[in-house]
Structure 1
Amino acid sequence: MTDEPPAIPRFSYKGDRLKPLRAFCQTVRLGSVSRAAEALYLSQPAVSLQLQALERDMGVRLLERSGRRLVMTREGEALYELARPLVEGIDALSGAFHERLRGLDAGELHVAAGSSTILYLLPDIVAAFRAAHPDVRLNLHNVTGAGGMDLLRSDAVDLAVGSMLDVPGDLDYAPVARFEPMLITRLDHPLAQAKKLDLRDLSPYGLILPPQRLTTYRMVDLVFQRHRVPYTVALEVGGWEVIKQYVAMGLGISIVTAICLTEADRSRLAARSLAAWFPDRSYGVVVRKGKYLSPQARAFTELIKPDLFVRRDYDATGQSER
């Protein structure tokens, strides 16, 4: 008796592996069979049959109802992680093929980034990309925090560039460069002249910080709370250029990332390292897990290297150390 090779599992629903997986992924993404059916231009019963066939062939329950939405079981989460990049890759195949034929001579690229990233980090990278790919239309979406994540999840942008503290499970974050936390004051401020600086020395002075929803504010609060050092916020305002201007006017002190300090700031601001208490801030590329990156997006990310990030570290007198 000869050994026979093991039977290969088959999808019973019309013998098509892709259709049930696409129906499953759309149902997970949209939370209901009816919405998935609309997105796929199918009837609701057709999508239900595909989901039933998929569960039957996998031998497990993949979806369950939670209120008015369908959510994944543990087994469904495992399948979704495997299936989504396959489905998206197949669906994007035609466009990717034609883009490959055309090369990088045309097309669009959408990048989400906050004002600070666009102002301080991206100029050299954008210049290098434009020089290499002049026919690609580059769209920089000026958004911060949750706004950028929403654009990534909805595929409104190809990637995001910025800093992240907490990375959601559906996103990938690749840090590229790190920058030192700095205290900035007026040149004649007592903290600018102090030989030694302790975190408690900041307590008597009001801080000028970005809005509470942003990473900088959350990090400042976390560090002061961890060290049990009281602090006060004199002013909340968005944008490091505005914060630097208000500090130079004597309206308060601030804690910023070294990347925002320029040569022009030396004449009006003193900057001292707070690396003993605050962690460095990393900056890098954020993409949605499983998302197919176009040739334009891959070319842009390849330019985001440490040597294109201009580092600026300052000593206590506000002079650049390197």
Structure 2
Amino acid sequence: MNNERGIVNDGAYGPFIHDSPFIIHHSQFIMLTFPENSVTAVILGNMQDAGLPHAGCTCGRCMAAFDDPSRVQYAACLGIVDRRRNAELRGEGAEGRRERARVYLIDATPDIKFQLNLLAGALGPHPQRANRLRQPDGIFLTHAHMGHIGGLPQLSKEAMFVNGLPVYATPTLCDLLQQTSLWSPLVAELDFRPMPGGASVDLGEGLAVTAVPVPHRDEWGVGTVAFHIQGPSKSLLYLPDIDAWEQWPDAENRLGSVDTALVDASFYNPDELGGRAPVAHPLVTDTIARFGHLADRLVLTHFNHTNPVLDAGSAAETAVRRAGFRMARTGQMFIL
């Protein structure tokens, strides 16, 4: 059913009005469609690495999601869809030349199979395999934590079976994946392209992605990056993980230099961890206090399942909204 108002049932958030009317519903399956002749960034997930529900959790939010699939939320992920005519790749079809979009993912999450299906309309059918989607044109990895690389095994021959799929990551992360024997069958099907901090990948016709180093816990010494995406008209910074704003002196300049910044909002306050040791992420309250003057361009993402902003109408969600900040919603689009 074509939803002309673009209303999405995004689970714990309840219905919201989408930025543009490009949502098609099929029961629990949502296919996204994208405006022609445009580059679009789209949110494919907004949760911390483990998503919602969280494995082994019996909190109210997680139990509600176990009971009601419409409340499930995917791990944080961003898609980039380029539907410009002069940038599209072309192939032969029964009706002559057919156009298709170029599609990229930022991070390969444990929910990647669902996130790829959100992009089914943009990916289109596989050119040789019946009942299969075409593989994306590239994946950019921010870092090595499980919510950001945990979907890579879904690309192996046991699942999607990609071939020569470009994967952009820091040189040390590329090395780690290639040198870990557990990954060796998958590595043969991927085309690793090292992307040091500060490096840019030109995706053509005014679309470029630049790796921006950020401080984040780094058990393997492979680094963490945000990605600055420069489109033909607008720019976006994707920053799902950072330890603390004060550890990144360039934070205000970076956030203030883009049209939209999707930023780490894992925890609202320190009371969420139930006595566990603090986890290195900036609190939403701190982000609001520091960057209230940038509220019109900041979008909060990467929510932990404990975060009270997930509850519509809660004091936390109300405080975020009144401060002028937006919260990432699956399906939300930004024209670049």
TM-score normalised per structure 2: 0.25
Bigger Cα Rg: 1
TM-score normalised over the length of structure 1: 0.26
* Structure number having the greater strand percentage: 2
